[in-house]
Structure 1
Amino acid sequence: MTTTDSALRHTLDRERAHHARCRTALAGMVDGADEQVVIGENASASGADAEVLGYQLRSQAKALHELPEGPLFFGRLDFAAGEHRALHIGRLRISEHPAEPPLVVDWRAPVSRAFYQASARDPQGVTVRRRFGWAPGSRGDSTDLTGLEDEHLDRGESRASEIVAREIERPRVGPMRDIAATIQPEQDDLVRGDLAVSVCVQGAPGTGKTAVGLHRAAYLLYTHPQRIRRGGLLILGPNRTFLSYISEVLPALGETGVRQSTLRDEIARHPVKGTDEARAAAVKHDGRMAEVLRRALYARVGRGPGISGPLAVPDGSYRWRVSEERLLRILTGVRAEEPPYAVGRERVRTRVVQMILEQAERRGGPPGAAWLQKISRSRAVGAYVDAVWPRVRPEEVVAELLMDPGVLAEAAEGVLDADEQKALLWAVPPRSWKSARWSAADLVLLDEVAGLIEHPQQYGHVVVDEAQDLSPMECRAIARRAVFGSMTVLGDLAQGTTPWAARSWRTVLGQLGKPDAVVVPLTLGFRVPRAVLELANRLLERVDVEVPAALPRKRGDPQLRGDGELRFREAGGDLPGAVVGAVRDALGREGSVGVVAADGEVGRVREALAAAGIETEGADEMGARVAVVPASVVKGLEYDHVVAVEPAAIVEGEEHEERGLRRLYVVVTRAVAGLEVVHGRPLPW
């Protein structure tokens, strides 16, 4: 629809006035939340109730205070009839009074779904869908509202949004932004999926799978606040660089109480000080290690000294006795129930005491609770339990397994062959577990044993990004934390770069304990331009994994990425100089620049840029204009312009060529506007 300039100005003035009213109302909400905290602290209530109330009020006030500055709405829906005639859609609900109609409706509210799903074919009661254009980098001043688009669905209008296209393609420096204003229908279906249903998103580069996972987390917190907060919500990323990159998305959506972590941080019983040979790491991450560790732990049961014969428990001048046969029956029964190790230990104690209690009741009637506690804590019962079901630390189990060939051989019989067992053994064993230098793979083993002893903290929902790189043992560590919760699993099999990278989502989902999770492919590349995707898809043909290729934008469709730029620069014997030239060219364009090189080349590249007077930062510096990033940590990040340095070296940085090609596939698909490949050697495609 085309409007006259005067009509457009009049409409913009009205919308700017509404935004100013929303800004005033939000300030009132913040002040009101602070006032409620004070009132809540002075409320007359029991200690527990006051604590819960105070926590809730403080959390609400904290969330409002931490909202990033920016426009308060990005869309509007006009309805033909019904309770709502016109609704503004934004990142959180804004009202002047809780009992009054909202000035802005949260994008997650059910009524807001029509903003993403309504069409000319199915208007869902919407007559007009309006999108607002804001000045880039707006901090939320009403004067920054610079344009709007109206789509008259009641008249059968259906057109791609130029505002959405500009937002998707807008250059960005710094952390990842939310996509609440640009969510596409297929993404919206995933975001609003049922909490009880686990879902796996196979997302090609640039399809927004990470954004979908984060927005799904925000949606679940909004829709099921009690259920999710009771269990907690955990977001697992591949590394801390990635977590820094996504750190501002959920706060921008009004959610600040979500734990964002890496799996290593979640299982870190000790700092990582050791390293493994490739063969040892592969065996430690193999799913068969779960059975080896289970055997090693439970080998301690029923093997202690002095466990034969009956048990005699002094009680004053009397001795209660439990026969060896009954003790064996107790031990066998508890083992057959397969409880967590610590639970099993207490069950043995409880059942021994129960047998003594039955004797006491027959002899003189039921004794009191004090007597039961005395018998349970008696030295004889404690010594027996310690002998047949000893207390143990995960570190003791794993260290003994990796230090003692005999213990390992017994636990691994029929599971690991001799070469695999040899690879596991520490070349220079420490004196004890206390002086062990644990590797990253050892932490996974320790967590497995810890999970056999006691169940870890459970989460109501877990979002796992870059899941294709998880090993079977890492999957088990995550599964233990979501036994009763659901998962959103995100990844791209083509981007798997670890030695144990998955080739099938069904395998991964089974290891995560969610075998029935639905696998949904996202193939439309919103962020990566056509030229880059075509190059990436050539690499994909050489990778042994079956995934649908990413689809570039269709010509004439402004809602998807344009063709972008793909350039090649031959170094001619001066690779550092060629990199400097490529970076200078990239700096002549708008947006961020990522210089990605093989890990061993990063230092040389950074030195060359510094010598040329180009200031650079590492991947963790989210506000940097130019970042020099090792190929091993670039996964999940994106830059407007990527300078890929010596692709052949990136491929050779991996032990196997296919993994190297996958790594290169990751590198080239980090570009969202332009890619320049700098090389002095033949290209590997």
Structure 2
Amino acid sequence: MSEYEDELRSEREYVAGLYARLDSERAEANRRYKAALSSPVDPQNGSTLVERDAEVRAMAREMQRLDVADYGLCFGRLETLDDEHLYIGRLGLLDSENDYEPLLLDWRAPLARAFYVATAASPEGMRRRRQFHTRGRRVIDFTDETLGRPTGAELGEELDGPGDAALLAAVNAPRGEGMRDIVATIQAEQDEIIRFEHSGVLVIEGGPGTGKTVVALHRVAYLLYTQRKQMERHGVLVVGPSSEFLNHIGRVLPSLGESQAVFMTTGDFVPGLRVSAEDTEDAARFKGSLKMLDVLAAAVADRQELPEDPIPIDLSDVTVRIDAATAEWAREEARKTALPHNEARAEFIDVVTYVLTERAVARIGKGWLTRDDKHAWAQMRADVVNELEDHEQFTAALNRLWPILTPEDVLAQLYTSRERLSAAGADDALYRAEGEAWTVSDVPLLDELVDLLGRDKAADEAAERQRKEEAAYAAGVLDLMVDREDLMDDEDHLLAADLLDAEQLAERFQEQDGRELAERAAADRDWTYGHVVVDEAQELSEMDWRVLMRRCPRRSFTIVGDLAQRRSAAGATSWGSMLEPYVPSEAKGANRAGRWVYRPLTVNYRTPAEIMEVAAAVLAEFAPGVQPPESVRACGVKPWARKVTDDELATAIEEFAQEEAGREGTSVVIGPPGMPGTVPPAATKGLEFDAVLVVEPQQILADGPRGAAELYVALTRATQRLGVLHRDPLPAALSGLDER
């Protein structure tokens, strides 16, 4: 047996032992889970139930953590200068029979960092790095990289060292249904960002294929590992450009053993709404700007009306009127409170009630009642106030002059009235016939209005009354349960009331919230997260950022994007323009936690050099100052173009689909928005495919001011093969493509 075969057998045995340990821990977690479920609960001790539920949840999370490790449990080993072997894997495992010595290091542990960053020039105290190639639970083979001497491979150069085999295998492998983690092949540039010790806002910018999305997700997994208490209590929010994109990346965090994350698009910011429709470019630009703050405030103020003619209120003994002067005084006093609209309504009502009551008492008591008779005056005032409380005319007048508003009411009525739009200082581009035909740009406005309007005090009071009524009903139930006349003469007899009081019984009637943190957070508009990841962040508007800053008061963000790929008219033209209102930049010398810092990714791992050369020509035309990322590999297949007639186009697309169906991997046909049989470039942002066919690039280029960015996105989705179909002449930047 050769030395290599002997080593391979030894590694297979070790990894098999790791899986045996994993199975043992799974069995123990399952045993404890079942024990927690069946553990007795003391009905007199509420904390016992809470403790039981906490144990059940903890064991469920532990089983979920262990379940992700079947694939690629261990992907390599480090050999130190002292001949110690450190095995690196998806999670940590300890030897319970040997003082809990580490059998497997979690990839996020400090000792594991050398696996990603050690080089020949900087070996990090290591002699050798070994990377496993596994299939299921079996090690197929391995490659060794000797550290501490030059190998000729540097990051960004053509990869030719023995340690690059795992990376090359990963980037050349066919794409599957969703994004894969890169935990086995993280590169030094990426690892530095993943482990960057910064508690504020981190901006990661990188061109296509630099792995910025997966780096951001691995950073979340790292933060969840190093700051678990903070992160588990508040959770993590991941914001992406589309539901397709979120489905694509959704398996990465669970594959790394993390499940406390909420995934949303900007159209999901308001609980209960799922919005994907988009506005016209002009409307999106205006709605996304901070000008909308003044528009929304004016739209709310416009609903605080003054009557053109006095409004009569017919009381039992006298008729009083709400005139413009009274309403104006009440409005001024309500606005002085600086409370949100619905909460300030109470002050408006108090002032109007005071004026009408004083007038009513003065008229009713004219000739026989004076203010000197304080008791009689107060009694009559109380009678009038009581009558006004349930007076239909008075209630209708209040609802007209200072109505209880919802965000949906305000925005829908604003959009459907050119007069209201003009009064609020809004652009006429916001007008539409169907007010509640919500778009993605409306969602941050609806969220902003939640704060402008505030809570409905009357509704809160009604809820409190209902709670008290439920408690009273529960008390009646207790009385029925305890018919004292039928009790035996036994002082030790246990009564139902001895176990729980009416309030507790009422709580039993209410639905208990047994949801996981991610579910609860997604449904709660006021939830604040421990950390927020924003992908394709260049697309977010100023109003979108206000929503996110409210969701994370700690200002702990990982922001990922590429300004060169921006397509939104309301998106970022620079990172500073979006972030400076909330956090200063690193250059301004703020404290470390209260600033934003910038880190670039420069190496393209996804797009082969042949395809990137074509995309770079497009980039140079619309963003000449932007340096494209450097590809680390070539695929050996040149991109091609084919000119077709109208009659040939559908057949050519079908031929591409049939050809790719016979290959392993994924493919997509990208065309101008609205073209049948194709996917628009915007829907492919952040995604990757083995083969891409771009149809009518000239039409994509001509689709608005950001058409060039759209074409750049389309051209950089392929990892292996790129073709172009065109009826119109090719854009100048693509004129060098080989014609078929």
Alignment TM class, shorter chain as reference: 0.7 to 0.9
Equivalent of residue 671 in structure 1, options 718, 721, 728: 718
Residue in structure 2 matched with residue 189 of structure 1 by the alignment: 192
Q: Does 1:570 align with 2:665?
A: no
Match of 2:239 among 236, 249, 261: 236
User: Structure 1 stretch 287-296 or stretch 151-160: which is displaced more?
Assistant: 151-160
Q: Which runs of 5+ in 2 are unaligned?
A: 42-46, 154-160, 311-326, 352-384, 455-524, 586-594, 734-740
Structure 1 residues 273 and 254 mapped into 2: Cα distance closer, same or farther (>3 Å)?
closer
Aligned to 2:114: 114
Partner of residue 540 from structure 1, selected from 601, 616, 619: 619
Counterparts in 2 of 1:298-313, with a 5 A limit? Answer: 298=301
For 1:667, give the aligned amino acid.
Answer: A
Aligned position for 1:359: none
Q: Is the 8 A contact 1:133 1:146 kept in 2?
A: yes
Q: Residue type matched to 1:21 in 2?
A: G
Q: Secondary structure at the match of 1:565?
A: coil
Residue of structure 2 equivalent to 1:51: 53
CA change 1:425–1:577 in 2 (3 A) is: closer
1:254 aligns to 2:267 (yes or no): no
Partner of 2:704: 655
- Counterpart Cα distance in 2 of 1:53 and 1:549: 51
The equivalent residue for 1:369 is: none
In structure 2, the residue matched to 1:358 is none
In the aligned structure 2, how far is the partner of 1:294 from the partner of 1:286?
A: 14
1:600 aligned partner, one-letter code: G
Task: Specify whether residues 39 and 445 from structure 1 end up closer, same or farther in structure 2 by C-alpha distance, changes over 3 A only.
Answer: same
Q: Taking structure 2 as the reference length, what is the TM-score of the superposition?
A: 0.71
Question: What is the deviation of 1:181?
Answer: 0.8
TM-aligned CA deviation for residue 635 of structure 1: 1.0
Cα separation, partners in 2 of 1:129 and 1:491, compared to 1, 3 Å: same
Count of residues paired in the alignment: 586
Compared with structure 1, are the counterparts of its residues 388 and 511 closer, same or farther at alpha carbon in structure 2 (3 Å cutoff)?
farther
How many Å apart are 1:676 and its aligned residue?
Answer: 1.6
Contact 1:191 1:213 in 2 (8 A): yes
**Distance in 2 between the 1:9 and 1:23 partners?**
21
| Deviation sequence 1:372-430 (CA, Å, 0-9, x none) | xxx9xx959x9999999764211222133223444433332xxx5xxx2x22233x3x6
How many Å separate the matches in 2 of 1:287 and 1:248?
Answer: 35
Q: 1:153 — aligned with what?
A: 147
The verdict on how the C-alpha distance between 1:596 and 1:403 changes in structure 2, with shifts beyond 3 A counting, is: closer
Q: Distance in 2 between matches of 1:548 and 1:343?
A: 53
**Change in CA separation of 1:478 and 1:172 when aligned onto 2, cut-off 3 Å:** same
> d(CA) in 2 for partners of 1:306 and 1:114?
79
2:665 aligned with 1:591:
yes
Separation of aligned partners in 1, 2:661 and 2:221: 35
Deviation at 1:468, TM superposition (A): 1.2
Structure-2 residue corresponding to 1:70: 71
- SS of the residue corresponding to residue 95 of structure 1 reads strand
- Which residue type is aligned with residue 405 of structure 2? V
> What is the aligned counterpart of 1:425 among 420, 426, 431?
431
Aligned mate of 1:401, from 414, 426, 431: 414
CA contact (8 A) 2:549 2:555 kept: no
Q: Is the 8 A contact 2:208 2:607 kept in 1?
A: yes
Going from structure 1 to structure 2, the CA distance change for 1:269 and 1:511 (only over 3 Å counts) comes to farther
Pair 406,681 (structure 1): closer, same or farther in 2 beyond 3 Å: closer
Judge conservation of contact 1:394–1:450 (CA < 8 Å) in 2.
yes
Q: Which residue of 2 aligns with 1:356?
A: none
Q: CA deviation at 1:195?
A: 5.3
SS in 1 for 2:448: helix
Q: Structure 1: any 5+ residue segments left out of the alignment?
A: 308-323, 352-374, 554-560, 604-627
Q: Does 1:411 align with 2:415?
A: no
Secondary structure in structure 2 of the residue aligned to 1:598: coil
Structure 2 CA distance, aligned partners of 1:349 and 1:23?
70
1:638 counterpart (648, 673, 688): 688
Amino acid at match of 1:402: Y
Q: 1:94 to 1:295 in 2, by over 3 A?
A: same
Secondary structure (helix, strand or coil) at the match of 2:208 reads coil
Partner of 1:212: 215
Contact residue 638 and residue 671 of structure 1 kept, 8 A: yes
For the residue of structure 2 that corresponds to 1:480, the secondary structure is helix
Determine if contact 1:459/1:485 at 8 Å carries over to the other structure: no
Which whole-Å CA distance do the structure 2 matches of 1:79 and 1:423 have between them? Answer: 66
C-alpha displacement at 1:21, in angstroms?
0.6
Q: CA deviation at 1:544?
A: 4.0
* Deviations, residues 585-607 of structure 1 (Å, cap 9, x unaligned): 5456543222222233333xxxx
> Aligned letter for 1:112?
A
- Distance in 1 (CA, whole Å) between partners of 2:118 and 2:719 is 28
Q: What's the CA shift string for 1:614-657, capped at 9, x where partnerless?
A: xxxxxxxxxxxxxx6332311111111212222123223x233x
Q: Larger deviation: 224-233 or 437-446?
A: 437-446
| 2:306 and 2:328 in contact (8 A); partners too | no
In 1, the alpha carbon distance for the partners of 2:21 and 2:688 equals: 36
Mapped to 2, the partners of 1:68 and 1:179 lie a distance apart of 14
Label 1:683 to 1:193 Cα distance change in 2 as closer, same or farther (>3 A): same
Q: Distance in 2 between matches of 1:640 and 1:274?
A: 29
Q: In structure 1, what is the Cα distance between the partners aligned to 2:262 and 2:11?
A: 37
Equivalent of 2:204 in 201, 205, 218 = 201
Determine if contact 1:270/1:438 at 8 Å carries over to the other structure.
Answer: no
| Structure-2 change in CA distance of 1:334 and 1:666 (3 Å) | same
Map of 2:167 onto structure 1: 164
How big is the shift at 1:662? 1.0
Is 1:7 equivalent to 2:3 in the alignment? yes
Given that 1:451 and 1:480 are in contact with CA atoms closer than 8 Å, whether structure 2 keeps it comes out as no
1:61 Cα deviation after fit: 1.9
Compare 35-44 and 470-479 and name the one that shifted more.
35-44
3-state SS, counterpart of residue 256 of structure 1:
coil
Q: Determine the structure 1 residue equivalent to 2:556.
A: 486
**Conserved in 2, the CA contact under 8 Å of 1:479 and 1:513?**
no
Q: Per-residue displacement from partner, 1:527-551 (whole Å, max 9, x unpaired)?
A: 1111111111110112147433211
Question: What SS class does the counterpart of residue 489 from structure 1 fall into?
Answer: strand
Instruction: Provide closer, same or farther for how the CA distance between residues 450 and 133 of structure 1 changes in structure 2, counting only shifts above 3 A.
Output: same
Question: Per the alignment, do residues 60 and 340 of structure 1 end up closer, same or farther by CA in structure 2, a change over 3 Å counting?
Answer: farther
Which amino acid in the other structure matches residue 701 of structure 2? V
Using the TM superposition, give the Cα deviation of residue 245 of structure 1 relative to its aligned residue in structure 2, in angstroms.
1.1
Q: Aligned-residue CA RMSD in angstroms?
A: 3.7
Contact 2:92 2:106 in 1 (8 A): yes
Equivalent in the alignment of 2:565? 495
1-side partners of 2:609 and 2:574: how far apart?
27
* Cα deviation, residue 672, structure 1: 0.9
1:22 to 18, 23, 28: 18
- Closer, same or farther in 2 for the Cα pair 1:306/1:331, shift >3 Å? farther
Deviations along 1:69-96, one digit per CA (max 9) or x if unpaired, are 3121111112234xx9221111111234
2:227 match? 224
Residue 123 of structure 2: aligned partner: 123
**Counterpart-to-counterpart distance in 2, 1:273 and 1:181:** 35
Cα pair distance change 1:392/1:306, threshold 3 Å: farther
1:287: how far off?
Answer: 2.4
Kindly indicate whether the alpha-carbon contact (under 8 Å) linking 2:216 and 2:558 is maintained by their aligned counterparts in 1: yes
Secondary structure of 2:293 counterpart: helix
| Structure-1 separation of matches of 2:332 and 2:286 | 37
Match of 1:624 in 2: none
- Indicate conservation of the 8 Å contact 2:541/2:571, yes or no: yes
Per-residue Cα deviation, 1:143-202 (whole angstroms, up to 9, x for no partner): xx2222222324566753222222222222221110001111111111112351211111
Tell me the distance in 2 between the aligned counterparts of 1:675 and 1:16.
40
Q: In 2, are the aligned partners of 1:28 and 1:96 still within 8 Å (CA)?
A: no
